[in-house]
A = this chain, B = another copy of it.
Amino acid sequence: MKSVIAVDAMGGDHGPSVTVPACLDFLDAHPGTELLLVGLPEPLAQELSRLGAQSRSRLTVVPATEVVGMDEDIRSAIRTKRHSSMRVAIDLVKEGRAQACVSAGNTGALMGTAKFVLKTLPGIDRPAICGVLPTRKGVVYVLDLGANADCTPDHLLQFAVMGATLVEAVEERARPSVGLLNIGSEEIKGSEVVKRAGELLKASTLNFHGNVEGNDIYNGTTDVVVCDGFVGNVALKTSEGLAKMMGDFLKEEYTRGVFTRLAALVSLPVIKAFRRRLDHRRYNGATLLGLRGIVVKSHGSADRLSFSTALERADSEVRHGLNERIAAEIARLHGLGELAGTNGASRNAAAA
C-alpha cells in the first residue's frame, strides 16, 4: 500500500529548518511513501536548495500563503487562516490526496482545525490525543493528553477503544491491556466519572486490566492508560519537568569540578546509553485519534530526528489501516453492524 503524507512544513518552533531535512531523512528511509510539503514557497525553496534537494522524487511542494502562530487563538486560526500551511495540509487529507498529516504547530489549532475540516469518525463524540511514553518494559500509550479537560464515562470508554485499537494495529499486539488511571489508596477511590468509566470498561469486550495509578505508567503495567485530558496533560508535563530536572541535576553534578568532569568522561558510554533509553525524540508524535483522517502532532520543539519519528508514526498508522480499524471497533462498541455517518449516533446507540 502506497502512503502519502501531508507535512505542515511551517509548524513548530523551528519551521522548515527542521521539517525539511527531517522529510528528506524520512524519504531516504521509506521508499514506499510520498510526502506533500506544505508551506510558504520561498522559505521551502531556500531550505531545499540549501540541502541540495530542489527536485526530489516522492516530494512535492504544495504552496500555502500563511502560517498559524504557536500561540495563536484557535478560533482565529480556523476562521481567518484558511490558507495556512496547517489548514492546507489537513485539507489534503480531506480531499483524499494524502492519507495522513503531520504538524508540529499549535496543538489547539491543529485539533480544532482537524475537527472542523475532517470531522469525527461515526460513533466518536470527542477526538483524543494519544502519546507514547517509554516504560520499564517497552512503551505505553496514554490518552487523552489534553484535548478534553472534562470527560464523561462514555468518552473515556471511547478513548479506551481507540487506544487499544492503535496498539493492536501499530504494535501488532493482540488484545492489548487497558488500564484506567485512578487514585488508589486514598479515602475516596477515584472521581465519580472514573468510577462509572470503570464499570463501562469492565462490561466491554476490551482486555481491561482495571484501575492503574500514576506509577503504573512507567512500570508498564498496561499497554494503554486511559484518562481525561486534564489528568493526562498534567501527568505528561509533570514527567517532562521531572525528567528534565533530573537530567540537569546529573549534568550539574558531573560538571562541578575537575574530578567530576573526569568521572563524566569515564561515564560517557553509560550516560549516552541512559539518555538513549529515555530520549523523548524516539517517542515523538502524538496521534489525534477519532478523526476521519490520520493526524499526528509533533512536539513543537522537535528537532530533525524527532520530527522524522513523527513522520514514521503517521506512515505506520496509514500502513496499518488505523482509521478503518477504529471505525470498525467503534461500530462494534455501539453494537451496530454499520454506522451511518452521523456524529450523534453514539449517544443514540448508548441510549438504546
Interface residues of chain A, those whose CB is within 8 Å of chain B, are: 71, 74, 106-108, 111-112, 135-136, 146-150, 181, 183, 185-192, 194, 213-219, 227, 229-231, 233-246, 248-250, 253-254, 256, 259-260, 262-264, 266-267, 269-271, 273-274, 277-278
Contacts and interface: CB of A to CB of B under 8 A. Distances in A.
A238 B217 contact: yes
A270 to B, nearest CB: 5
Given A237-B214, A239-B214, A274 B245 contact: no
Given A187-B147, A188-B149, A253-B270, A239 B239 contact: yes
Contacts of A148: 188
A219 B234 contact: no
B266 A241 contact: no
Task: Name the residue among A248, A263, A270 with the largest chain B CB count within 10 angstroms.
Answer: A270
13 contacts: A74-B187, A107-B186, A147-B186, A147-B188, A183-B229, A183-B233, A213-B233, A214-B234, A219-B241, A227-B234, A234-B234, A239-B242, A253-B271
Contacts of A241: 214-219
Nearest to A108: B187
A48 to B, nearest CB: 30
Contacts of A273: 253, 256
**Copies of this chain in its oligomeric complex:** 2
B149 A191 contact: yes
Given A186-B108, A214-B237, A274 B248 contact: no
Contacts of A270: 250, 253-254, 256, 260, 263-264
Contact of A191 (B147, B150, B192, B271): B150
A204 to B, nearest CB: 22
A214 B235 contact: yes
Contacts of A150: 188, 191-192
Among A74, A253, A269, residue most surrounded by chain B Cβ atoms (within 10 Å): A253
B245 A218 contact: yes
Contacts of A269: 259-260, 263
A238 B112 CA distance: 29
B108 A185 contact: yes
Contact of A183 (B190, B217, B234): B234
A34 to B, nearest CB: 30
Contacts of A250: 270, 274
Contacts of A249: 274, 277-278
- The interface centre, meaning the residue of A74, A235, A259 with most chain B CB atoms within 10 A of its CB, is A235
Given A107-B186, A148-B188, A278-B246, A240 B254 contact: no
A345 to B, nearest CB: 23
Contacts of A254: 267, 270
Contacts of A149: 183, 186, 188-192, 194
Contacts of A194: 149, 230
B253 A262 contact: no
Contact of A146 (B108, B183, B219, B277): B183
Contacts of A237: 183, 213-215
A242 B245 contact: no
B185 A107 contact: yes
